[in-house]
Structure 1
Amino acid sequence: MGQHVSVDPGFGAYLHSLRDERGWSLRRLGKRVNCSHGHLWDMEHGRKQPSLRVAALLDEALDAGGQLAAMVRAASPGDGGLVAAVSSIKSSSLEGALDLWALDLQRRDLHTATTFNAAVFLVPALRWLTAPATPTAAANGPRVVGMPDVEMVRQMLGVFRAVDNQYGGGAVRERLVSFLHHDVGGLLQGRYDSRTAPALLSVSAEATQMAGWATYDVGRHALAQRYMVQALELAGAAEDRPLGAEILAAMSHQAAYLRAGGEAVDLARAAARAAEDAGVGAIAAEAAVLEAQGHAVSGDGAATASALDRAERLFDRAERATDPQWLGYFDEAYLAAKFGQTFTALGRGDLALRFAHRSLEMDERYARGRAFNLSLVARAHLQAGEIEQAAAAGQLAVDAAEGIDSARSRDYLAEIADRLAPHAGLDSVATYRARAAQLTG
């Protein structure tokens, strides 16, 4: 008997966007997946539902990282393979994660031809916010998995996080993906009880989000987007609402960085709602400042000011004693940096300067963050018309960025160099631009 499926209403639009990005006709895609172009047209327009098998073939053909299959929900799991191993745990989330890690590890060029589209975040974000809670079941794979295994993953993530903060996403990305594929994937396909299951899924979501951050940091934005969506799926399977809120905030962060202001605002608001539901005030404050940044990218000064005021009030009254361990980065220096970035997005370097300088009062373990914040100081001075000060801060940013493998860090340095170009006759500017060129190529 055929498998009954429930298909996400955004499936057709997402399939069309993936096909359009590659410039493929329906006929060409149909040949790749052994499906008529008319049937594919019906799928894109919501007239026919794909099977899990067809969705998986489309994922493979379009390098979609398991996201199309994740949008096709099994109403009654079939037999065999991973679905049998994980029983009633949300199998599409696990399948999507395992596929993504394997494809990324095996194909170094995965998704390089795909462009980032902030709107792709919105469907999984809405689905995550509105999906009903369901108990997480045990799994019956061949390997026994317990809480010590979960703790091992947490300890390893601590190591990866420390290296990432000190040396950039490029220093950890490939090792982290290998860890996900070989180690975390093996645990997810193991045998564990209903107490271990949510903890394992939660730490897997955290690891997947970290891989998304590292991928974002090296400039592979479409692939980073796949990781963020997959992390959100796993957090949903774990019923980990605080982590889900944090992942939604990360999606907003990436959208704002890539100048998708409207989507950044929507995702920040989703993060705020999730944070409020979970009772984590610090994430609600982070969501508010990210909403402000989205408004600033869109040029809405009044909405920016309102969101910043809300962020400050939420931060002041947040109870931090019960924060999750992974939220340790969110402190006064981080908040000041986000305020500074928001004001520079509005072109108000004069307002950004005091926040940019305050952001330097930060934990020395965040070396990459210090490089970012020094670049922020330089950009603020530039917008304020203070060229010599901008060049001096830029020099410090170059010093801080040496030895850090981060495309974001290099992008900031290159932007400063471009904006200083009209003043290249000044010795300090010429020196900065020459040094920055050595790092940015």
Structure 2
Amino acid sequence: MTTRQPNTALEHLFRESGWTLRQFAQAINRIGTERGTPLNYTKPSIHQWLQGQMPREAVRPLILEALSRRFNRPVTSSEAGFPVSPDQLKRPTGTVDGLLDLGREDMDPSRRSVLGAGLFSVALTIPGWQDVVGRMDAIKVDPQRRIGQPEVQAVTAMTERLSDLDDDFGGRYARPMSAAFLVNTVAPYLKADASEEVRKSMLSTASFLCYLTGWMAVDEGAHGRAQQYYVKSLELAGASGDHMTYCHVLRGMSVQAANLGHGVPAVRYANAAAEASPESSPRMRAFMAGQQAHAYALAGERKNALHSLREAERAVNQAESQLGTFGGFSSATLAYSTAEVRHALGDTKGSVESLHDHFHLRDSSDSKRSEIKFGAMLAERQLEIGHLEAACATWATALDSYPGIHSGRVDEQVRRIPSLLFPYRSNPVARQMYERSRELCTK
């Protein structure tokens, strides 16, 4: 009969974390909830793991992520005394083959809930511009296929259509189509014979489509999968020399981290995007500084947050006479960024005022999904400052359009309404909204 040996590796990490057993368990449970699989671990579970009982395979990635977040660095299976999983033993695949693997899993309904797809990693290693610019694994060219600018234009046009579908109906609706297009059309184009100019243009276009697919994954709540798409997008952008898309993706990664409440990585990505930016037009500065402001605020860096917000305001004002926006950043976006900064710095009332400004400044170019999402956000903050009936009215407007949206983020906001209104059911307006939201949640 063998005696179980204590997991000294995990014990060392636990001591280094400074957590109590209860705090370690709570950190794991929070990540489970974030991933959509609520857990209820307590002190005895942690104690058993430290004494040598091996955690379930499905839980090990959550334990590693909890420790990675605590230390702000990657923590590996072997470092924690866990067996290395078969997935970790796989040899790294090339950019195109890796993209094919990602897309095929998203096309297959039976694999779209694959373990870890929704697990966001704060310690993700991202390739720097100098690491990816002009570099890519050697691709075996298909001599039977040659592409030119018409194929590039077709992929660009299809990407715009997919972006419109995402805006109109949500990421859950559009992502399988985007993944199928990546696998069936774009990946073969990347392996086709082409001139150097066409090849770089196709790589650049594929990079943005990959980023868009990652953005759809974020909207669906598959945060780990989104990060995988984002890294592939960075690799493709570097291979094509597309500095602008590279910066755009980094900023998107900051937005993802910020929306999940992770201020430190949000700052890291936002600053990396700003530092790598190939231009400093007013719109570009506003696009970058607005996100930096939100990230700094979440990280508790008040002075930097307010400085970046003022920079974004100056840049938007300088660009007011110019047509168009960069990355959709406009006066309405600035008002939203201001709302997020104010809320993160503890000024909920000011955040409500800024969200009202956002809705007054919106125009037809803004998506229905963002209208619902920001409306639900406004309602929650109105309730937070005691404006119960105003919150219910705001929720009512948002819910009018909700049935047509297939968005995991919006679903999550709607699911919160009944619990938020439960204490106020004695109010007729609140009770009516409580019942309406409960009914929507059961459909």
Q: Same fold (TM over 0.5)?
A: yes
Q: What is residue 165 of structure 1 aligned with on the other side?
A: 167
Q: What is residue 16 of structure 2 aligned with on the other side?
A: none
Matches of 1:157 and 1:203 in 2, distance apart? 8
Instruction: Give the direction of change, closer, same or farther, for the CA distance of 1:21–1:362 in structure 2 (3 Å limit).
Output: farther
Q: What is residue 390 of structure 1 aligned with on the other side?
A: 391
Contact 1:93 1:237 in 2 (8 A): no
User: How far apart are 1:381 and its partner, in Å?
Assistant: 1.5
Instruction: Give the direction of change, closer, same or farther, for the CA distance of 1:417–1:292 in structure 2 (3 Å limit).
Output: farther
Query: Alpha-carbon deviations, 1:384-406, whole Å to 9, x = none?
Result: 22111111111111113221011
In structure 2, which of residues 143, 146, 158 is the aligned counterpart of residue 144 of structure 1?
Answer: 146
Letter in 2 for 1:116: L
Query: Alpha-carbon deviations, 1:4-50, whole Å to 9, x = none?
Result: xxxxxxxxxxxxxxx9994699xxxxxxxxxxxxxxxx9978xxxxx
TM-score by length of structure 1 reads 0.74
Q: How many residues align?
A: 366
Matches of 1:319 and 1:236 in 2, distance apart? 32
1:119 aligns with 2:122: yes
User: How far apart are 1:328 and its partner, in Å?
Assistant: 5.0
**The 10-residue stretch of structure 1 (234-243 or 429-438) with the greater mean CA deviation from structure 2:** 429-438
Instruction: Give the direction of change, closer, same or farther, for the CA distance of 1:328–1:320 in structure 2 (3 Å limit).
Output: farther
Q: What is residue 353 of structure 2 aligned with on the other side?
A: 354
Q: What is residue 311 of structure 2 aligned with on the other side?
A: 310
Query: Alpha-carbon deviations, 1:143-170, whole Å to 9, x = none?
Result: 1111100100111111111111111112
What is the correspondence of 1:170-249 to structure 2 with a 5 Å cutoff? 170-249=172-251
Instruction: Give the direction of change, closer, same or farther, for the CA distance of 1:337–1:197 in structure 2 (3 Å limit).
Output: same
User: How far apart are 1:438 and its partner, in Å?
Assistant: 3.0
Matches of 1:389 and 1:217 in 2, distance apart? 27
User: How far apart are 1:130 and its partner, in Å?
Assistant: 3.4
Letter in 2 for 1:62: D
Query: Alpha-carbon deviations, 1:383-439, whole Å to 9, x = none?
Result: 322111111111111113221011111222333443333222211111222222233
**5+ long unaligned stretches in structure 2:** 1-53, 61-75
Matches of 1:139 and 1:436 in 2, distance apart? 54
Matches of 1:43 and 1:436 in 2, distance apart? 42
Matches of 1:317 and 1:429 in 2, distance apart? 44
What is the correspondence of 1:322-361 to structure 2 with a 5 Å cutoff? 327-360=326-359, 361=361
Matches of 2:217 and 2:418 in 1, distance apart? 25
Matches of 2:286 and 2:314 in 1, distance apart? 8
Q: What is residue 381 of structure 1 aligned with on the other side?
A: 382
Output the aligned Cα RMSD. Answer: 3.2
1:414 aligns with 2:415: yes
1:363 aligns with 2:363: yes
Matches of 2:283 and 2:166 in 1, distance apart? 22
Contact 1:138 1:194 in 2 (8 A): no
Q: What is residue 66 of structure 2 aligned with on the other side?
A: none
TM-score by length of structure 2 reads 0.74
Matches of 2:336 and 2:401 in 1, distance apart? 16
**The 10-residue stretch of structure 1 (143-152 or 353-362) with the greater mean CA deviation from structure 2:** 353-362
Letter in 2 for 1:290: Q
Matches of 2:296 and 2:276 in 1, distance apart? 20
Contact 2:132 2:239 in 1 (8 A): no
Q: What is residue 64 of structure 2 aligned with on the other side?
A: none
Matches of 2:406 and 2:312 in 1, distance apart? 31
Q: What is residue 96 of structure 2 aligned with on the other side?
A: 94
Instruction: Provide the secondary structure at the position in 1 that maps to 2:152.
Output: helix
1:62 aligns with 2:90: no
Contact 1:341 1:376 in 2 (8 A): no
Instruction: Give the direction of change, closer, same or farther, for the CA distance of 1:101–1:198 in structure 2 (3 Å limit).
Output: same
In structure 2, which of residues 259, 263, 266 is the aligned counterpart of residue 264 of structure 1?
Answer: 266
Matches of 2:100 and 2:140 in 1, distance apart? 16
Instruction: Provide the secondary structure at the position in 2 that maps to 1:116.
Output: coil
What is the correspondence of 1:122-137 to structure 2 with a 5 Å cutoff? 123-124=125-126, 127-131=127-131, 133-134=133-134
User: How far apart are 1:175 and its partner, in Å?
Assistant: 1.1
Contact 1:98 1:185 in 2 (8 A): yes
**The 10-residue stretch of structure 1 (158-167 or 418-427) with the greater mean CA deviation from structure 2:** 418-427
